[in-house]
Amino acid sequence: MKTGLLGCVNNISQHLDKIKVWAKSFNEVCNSQVILVCINPTDMELRILQTMGIDTAAYYLESGETVNNFRLQYEIDTLKQTDWDYALITDVFDVMFQDDPFQKIIGHQITVGTEGVYHFEEPWNLDVMQKSYPNKVELVRNELILCSGVIGGEKNRLLTFLTKMDSITKKGVGGHDIRDQAAMNIKIYDDKSPFHNYNLLTPKDGWVLHCAVGGPTQFYESWGFKDKMKERYGEAEMINGVVVNGQGQIFDIVHQFNRIEQWNKELTMRYI
């Protein structure tokens, strides 16, 4: 069974250290192909990535176009060319791996991780929904936020899922140019048989921690996330340079760790 990791980057030279953390940490826990969709890369940047063992797919945007509005289509086009059975598609600059992320994906069509709080409890996600998809606010208001920064699943199912997600993203109106997460939540919660094809994992499952909500960021206590996480899942913490959930289980994936200064320093020091 073939698996692979796919991400998308721009301004490569400015972010080489972040890319190293993403790719090297993955290579430590999984022997799978790594592909980066590269937006407007130079030839030198592509050569550097290749020396890091990363395969590349280059795309070129005209001035004025935003990466966020085209990223999904480029990832879809690249994923189609692979021979993978299962794929993991993640953000790059703020994602690292602590264990094999495919263990909890195999056997499921689509896997995503919850942030741990509901839309009505988190201002940014609700604001995107209100401005870009006002007719879907009530659909998601009382549903857990699902994070689009880490998505896994069967390749063919993912292609269908991402194509629909891309369509919803492009149909959003005004307010935000980062609409892919709202689009993904609409896609899943608007399904006639929600969760039938979806493996929705919480911090208790140990697959992914989305640190913007689940880690000790500057908003962790002031926005009330700490109490909610402790009550619902147990509190994530770092022990000897490893991030674990409230049950002491190592997270396979840590997302948005760079928003926590001490965690960022300890997690990345051995890769850069």
Q: Which CATH number is correct for 1-93, 3.90.550.10, 3.40.190.80, 3.40.50.150, 3.40.228.10?
A: 3.90.550.10
For the chain, what are the domain ranges? Answer: 1-93, 110-201
Asked if residues 124 and 178 have their Cβ atoms less than 8 Å apart, the reply is no
Confidence of residue 61 (pLDDT cuts 50, 70, 90): confident
Residue matched to tokens 């109490």: 227
* Residue 67 in this model has a pLDDT that exceeds 80: no
Nearest-angstrom CA–CA distance, 225 and 229 = 6
Provide Rg for the chain, Cα atoms.
Answer: 18
According to DSSP, residue 116 is labeled E
Q: What is the pLDDT of residue 193?
A: 60
Residue matched to tokens 């994906």: 105
Q: What is the pLDDT of residue 63?
A: 65
- CA distances in angstroms from 53 to 24, 26, 46, 56, 255, listed in the order given: 9, 11, 11, 10, 22
Asked if residues 206 and 250 have their Cβ atoms less than 8 Å apart, the reply is yes
- CA distances in angstroms from 213 to 49, 79, 81, listed in the order given: 31, 30, 35
- CA distances in angstroms from 30 to 50, 98, 100, listed in the order given: 18, 10, 6
pTM, to two decimals: 0.96
Nearest-angstrom CA–CA distance, 214 and 228 = 9
Six-digit token pair at 56?
A: 């590349």
Q: What is the pLDDT of residue 194?
A: 57
Which residue(s) pair with 152 in the sheet?
88, 111
Six-digit token pair at 11?
A: 């301004």
List, for residues 70-83, the tens digit of each pLDDT value: 899 999 999 999 99
- CA distances in angstroms from 264 to 7, 100, 119, listed in the order given: 20, 20, 27
Identity of residue 122? E
Residue matched to tokens 């289509």: 73
Six-digit token pair at 257?
A: 């760790």
List, for residues 217-254, the tens digit of each pLDDT value: 988 999 999 999 999 999 999 999 999 999 999 999 99
